[in-house]
């Protein structure tokens, strides 16, 4: 079977643009949550989010392209450019028919939808932009990346809510395993900090209302958690057939050795409280990787900071690993960057890659009083040095979608 390695990573996150800046903030336990500035929150209950700071789309696209595209494409393009550069791809020498793109999103260009409805009601249908449809559809980041880089191989935008980017990476991995591609651009992007999305998630009682203390609002596994904090950003990986990567002398971050994909088949928003679906997706990934429980060094948890999800995930981890489930290191990147919805899994995979490479596990911040029902080793508040060889990355989405990726230190 073909082996698949990760040779490039691009991150655009609320705590840093580029993997170096992102990692430095993760290691320091820096929060990217603050008061929302992207829209007027004066009539909103929730006024906090994890926005990207100091991002200028014209650093990546010309002015005309910026006007004709949604913020989600600005973020995905920046992350893709960073990943392609990081991988050192020489585009002219690639077989473009074996070069594909899988980039997903949970909600697509929702900012465009938000603004287009305002235009429709205030100015009439004839004033709605002719670019509205291509700006809003969720496949556009994948399509645009293919156009930008001439990638004529497999192209898809898997949409599975908050599991989207893990599923895109997992399905891109299978493209290479099957021999459909030599190289895949894979990951996710999201730009959902908008008035309508914030209102919708607020009505669901899903968001934290800790407006007076934004930096400590996202507190996975903590007894005082009251909901997730919406974030925005993009994470893109370059996946490559091992032999192809070796021939061009690529730097290899890690190898993908397993991928699990299941559904709770339980509820449209709530996870199955016993964690059975999440457990099976982790088990499938671990079995495909050929790991036994005690070999798992780290779990990058879904860890959303919602009461239901954190308890469910704890139950699933303990079901998977038994007593070792209380000892294995479990981190939540969302404690710092909020919940990037369809981009979450990709930026969290980058955190896991760097943990393997640097031998440092970033903390789960805002651990004040651990929930006794979430009795995990959450690496509270401070990064630790540890040898990390094998990592599971968990992502679970509305509708009961579960995606888990198994990555490990590359050994030739």
C-alpha to C-alpha distance for 182 and 240, rounded to whole angstroms: 6
Which letter does DSSP use for residue 224 in this model? T
Of the candidates 74, 175, 244, 339, the residue annotated as catalytic is 339
Cβ(346)–Cβ(339) below 8 Å: no
CA distance linking residue 191 with residue 342, whole number of Å: 9
Burial label for 391, CB within 10 Å (0-12, 13-18, 19+), is: buried
d(CA 18, CA 251) in angstroms, rounded, equals 17
Bridge-based pairing of strands 329-331 and 48-49 is unpaired
Q: Give the dihedral sign, CA 9/10/16/20.
A: positive
Q: What count of residues does the chain have?
A: 412
Catalytic annotation present for 162: yes
Q: Are 14 and 75 in contact (CB under 8 A)?
A: no
- SS3 (DSSP) at 33: coil
CB 196 within 8 A of CB 41: no
Pairing between strand 254-263 and 298-300?
A: unpaired
User: Is 44 tagged catalytic?
Assistant: no
Distance of alpha carbon 46 from alpha carbon 36, whole angstroms: 9
Known active-site residue 302: yes
- Report the candidate in 326, 267, 285, 332 with the shortest Cα–Cα distance to residue 305: 332
Catalytic residue among 74, 302, 362, 401: 302
List 74, 162, 175, 374, catalytic entry: 162
How far apart, in whole angstroms, are the C-alpha atoms of residue 196 and residue 318? 37
Residue positions annotated with a catalytic role: 162, 302, 339
């Amino acid at each position: 079977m073909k082996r698949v390695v990760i040779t490039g990573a691009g991150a655009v996150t609320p705590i840093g643009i580029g993997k170096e800046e992102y990692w430095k903030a993760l290691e320091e336990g820096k929060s990217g949550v603050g008061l929302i500035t992207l829209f007027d929150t004066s009539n909103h209950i929730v006024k906090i989010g994890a926005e990207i700071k100091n991002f200028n789309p014209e650093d990546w696209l010309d002015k005309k392209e910026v006007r004709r595209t949604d913020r989600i494409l600005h973020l995905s393009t920046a992350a893709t450019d960073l990943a392609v550069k990081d991988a050192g791809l020489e585009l002219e020498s690639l077989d473009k028919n074996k070069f594909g793109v899988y980039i997903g999103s949970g909600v697509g260009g929702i900012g465009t939808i938000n603004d287009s409805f305002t235009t429709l009601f205030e100015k009439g249908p004839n004033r709605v932009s002719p670019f509205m449809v291509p700006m809003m559809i969720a496949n556009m980041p994948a399509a645009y990346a293919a156009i930008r880089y001439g990638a004529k191989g497999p192209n898809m935008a898997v949409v599975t809510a908050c599991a989207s980017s893990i599923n895109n990476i997992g399905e891109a991995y299978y493209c290479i395993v099957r021999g459909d591609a030599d190289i895949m651009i894979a990951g996710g992007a999201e730009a959902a900090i908008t008035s309508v999305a914030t209102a919708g998630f607020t009505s669901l009682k899903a968001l934290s209302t800790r407006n007076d203390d934004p930096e400590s609002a996202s507190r996975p596994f903590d007894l005082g958690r009251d909901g997730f904090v919406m974030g925005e950003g993009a994470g893109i990986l370059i996946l490559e057939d091992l032999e192809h990567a070796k021939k061009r002398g690529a730097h290899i971050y890690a190898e993908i050795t397993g991928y699990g994909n299941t559904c709770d088949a339980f509820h449209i928003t709530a996870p199955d409280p016993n964690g059975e679906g999440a457990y099976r997706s982790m088990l499938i990934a671990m079995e495909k990787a050929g790991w036994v429980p005690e070999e798992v060094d780290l779990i990058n948890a879904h860890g959303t900071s919602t009461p239901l999800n954190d308890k469910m995930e704890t139950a699933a981890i303990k079901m998977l690993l038994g007593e070792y489930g209380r000892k294995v290191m479990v981190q939540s990147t969302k404690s710092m960057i909020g919940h990037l919805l369809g981009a979450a899994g990709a930026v969290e995979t980058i955190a896991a890659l760097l943990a393997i490479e640097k031998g440092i596990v970033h903390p789960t911040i805002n651990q004040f009083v651990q929930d006794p029902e979430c009795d995990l080793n959450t690496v509270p508040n401070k990064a630790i040095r540890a040898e990390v060889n094998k990592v599971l990355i968990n992502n679970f989405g509305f509708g009961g979608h579960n995606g888990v990726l198994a990555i490990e230190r590359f050994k030739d």
